[in-house]
């Protein structure tokens, strides 16, 4: 498992990626149900949520205005949850076309 973005030097240490305290109200959608949550902090790889009963392993969509983020709940403690964000795969490069019809023979 990669340690990218994870705290690797103990609970009082620093994380590799900075988290931004945001306090944004959002909607968490899972299995056709929706609940309001508070995004307490946010980073490139995840978010800390507060406010609804989520279970580790649940796939959710987080709706913020007209934006949608998806991810999986990594941990829960009381009414707080950690969301590990999914990332879209980068597009694969287009195949290189070689014009063999116009090539001259040597």
Residue 27 to residue 65: CA distance in whole angstroms = 9
Pair type for strands 59-64 and 46-50: unpaired
Q: What is the pTM of this model?
A: 0.66
Provide the residue-wise pLDDT of the chain in tens; the chain has 106 residues: 444 445 544 455 555 567 789 999 999 999 889 999 999 999 888 999 998 888 999 999 999 999 999 999 999 999 999 999 997 555 556 666 676 665 555 5
| Extents of the domains making up the chain | 20-85
- Number of other residues whose CB lies within 10 A of the CB of residue 90: 6
Residues 33-55 as b/e (b if ≥16 CB within 10 A, e otherwise) read eeeebbbbbbeebbbbbebbebe
For the domain made up of 20-85, the CATH class stated in words is mainly beta
């Amino acid at each position: 498992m990669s340690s990218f973005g994870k705290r690797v030097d103990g609970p009082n240490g620093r994380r590799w990626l900075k988290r931004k305290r945001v306090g944004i109200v959002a909607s968490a959608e899972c299995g056709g149900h929706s609940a309001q949550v508070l995004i307490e902090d946010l980073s490139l790889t995840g978010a800390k949520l507060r406010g609804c009963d989520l279970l580790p392993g649940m796939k959710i969509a987080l709706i913020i205005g007209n934006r949608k983020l998806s991810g999986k709940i990594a941990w829960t403690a009381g009414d707080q949850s950690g969301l590990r964000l999914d990332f879209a795969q980068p597009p694969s490069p287009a195949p290189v076309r070689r014009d063999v019809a116009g090539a001259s023979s040597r």
